[in-house]
């Protein structure tokens, strides 16, 4: 199975976009998304220095536009992509690129959202001097206890040996003076304490704008940063995109879901390297491909052909599917199993795993066409559970 991932802020470097813009088609598409964002992303991706592209207002649209246009270069016939992609995921702002790639929102909607997200987060960052520090190594429990002791948040949990602490500069300085045993602290070049309560003003602004955004259910599995769950409802994907601004990124749980899915290959969109590096440490035996320059495109397509398989989640205008958010045992709700009509939001059952129990609902409601699993069946993340004929469908 192939998973495509999109990196978050901090992956950018000066001039990384230069070789990509030598392709006239890539350049024209990129200029279009730059126009939508109202920023000269071409200049930022080719001539700007590290400090300039560190600016949240610049970095976030630059990364999302790069991911979206590269996806079209990788898959010249976009519809073919979903016969190969088993799941998508994005780290932090990379989730916006992943959502657009899965066809939850359009590229233009993605650029407006990320433009406003970057501006709002930059404003929130300016309110209080805050920052982030990577904590590499050390005992996990000791690291988390140290963060709690100094009032810091584990804003990114990236898997074995890498937690990112976030908070005020004073809190980070105190933590630096009292580090966990056998841990190395690396201050990050970011504008503020992202994915913490310090970003709540940005959350409110983006949430207001998101009310006007139309969505579609994804064409492949979308693995959520929030908790590693597979989300197959477009409105829920959008809700989580907004909420992640002030909530920690649980990339460790995303990696667990990839393992549960049986991933064999992970391809990272440019500017690539960070997420494939994490995957190499966390998912032993899984092949990775860091797509950095356009001369790698043929090899990247071969990688996709080698690992690709359809997620089996193709949408039809005459029915909808309810899927499992995680790995576990499915227990069907008695009332749902006894009816052929479900109201929007009706509970169809729960998925129980060793970690927790998750209630599964039919967000859209409709006529039951087919149960795709039985009570007590083991299910995987994103596995279809129930097929529904929507109310009002012709």
The token pair that represents 93 in the structure block: 């702002």
Angle value at C-alpha 16, between 40 and 69, nearest 5 degrees: 65
How far is Cα 102 from Cα 217, in angstroms, rounded to an integer? 8
- SS3 (DSSP) at 171: helix
The token pair that represents 22 in the structure block: 């030598």
Nearest to 353 by CA among 375, 377, 326, 372: 326
CA-to-CA separations, 215 to 93, 104, 107, 114, 232, in angstroms, rounded: 18, 5, 12, 16, 11
Catalytically annotated residue among 91, 195, 205, 364: 195
Catalytically annotated residue among 92, 125, 224, 246: 92
Nearest to 216 by CA among 314, 88, 309: 314
Pairing of strands 130-137, 183-187: antiparallel
92 labelled catalytic: yes
324 labelled catalytic: no
DSSP 47: T
For tokens 């920052």, the residue is: 131
Active site residues: 92, 195
């Amino acid at each position: 199975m192939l998973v495509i991932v999109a990196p978050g802020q901090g992956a950018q470097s000066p001039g990384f976009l230069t070789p990509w813009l030598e392709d006239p088609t890539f350049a024209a598409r990129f200029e279009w998304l730059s126009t939508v964002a109202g920023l000269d992303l071409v200049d930022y991706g080719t001539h700007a220095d590290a400090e300039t592209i560190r600016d949240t207002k610049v970095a976030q649209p630059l990364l999302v536009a790069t991911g979206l246009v590269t996806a079209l270069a990788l898959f010249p016939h976009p519809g073919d992509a979903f016969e190969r992609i088993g799941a998508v995921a994005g780290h932090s702002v990379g989730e916006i690129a992943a959502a657009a790639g899965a066809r939850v929102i359009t590229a233009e909607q993605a650029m407006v959202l990320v433009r406003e997200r970057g501006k709002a987060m930059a404003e929130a960052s300016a309110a209080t001097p805050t920052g982030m520090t990577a904590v590499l190594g050390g005992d996990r429990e000791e690291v988390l206890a140290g963060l709690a002791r100094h009032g810091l948040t584990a804003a990114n949990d990236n898997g074995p040996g890498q937690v990112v602490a976030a908070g005020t500069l004073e809190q980070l300085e105190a933590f630096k003076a009292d580090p966990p045993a056998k841990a190395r602290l690396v201050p990050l070049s970011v504008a503020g304490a992202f994915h913490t309560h310090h970003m709540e003003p940005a959350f409110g602004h983006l949430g207001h704008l998101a009310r006007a955004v139309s969505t579609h259910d994804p064409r492949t599995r979308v693995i959520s940063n929030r908790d590693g769950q597979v989300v197959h409802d477009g409105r829920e994907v959008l809700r989580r995109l907004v909420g992640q601004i002030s909530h920690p990124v649980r990339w460790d749980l995303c990696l667990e879901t990839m393992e549960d899915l049986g991933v064999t290959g992970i391809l990272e969109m440019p500017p690539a390297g960070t997420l494939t590096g994490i995957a190499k440490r966390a998912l032993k035996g899984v092949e990775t491909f860091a797509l950095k320059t356009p001369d790698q495109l043929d090899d990247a397509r071969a990688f996709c052909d080698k690992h690709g398989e359809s997620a089996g989640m193709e949408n039809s205008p005459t029915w909808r599917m309810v899927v499992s958010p995680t790995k576990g045992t499915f227990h069907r709700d008695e009332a749902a199993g006894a009816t052929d009509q479900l109201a929007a939001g009706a509970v169809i059952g729960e998925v129980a795993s060793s970690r927790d129990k998750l209630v599964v609902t039919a967000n859209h409601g409709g006529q039951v066409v087919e149960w795709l699993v039985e009570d007590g069946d083991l299910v995987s993340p994103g596995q279809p559970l129930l097929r529904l004929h929507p109310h009002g469908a012709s």
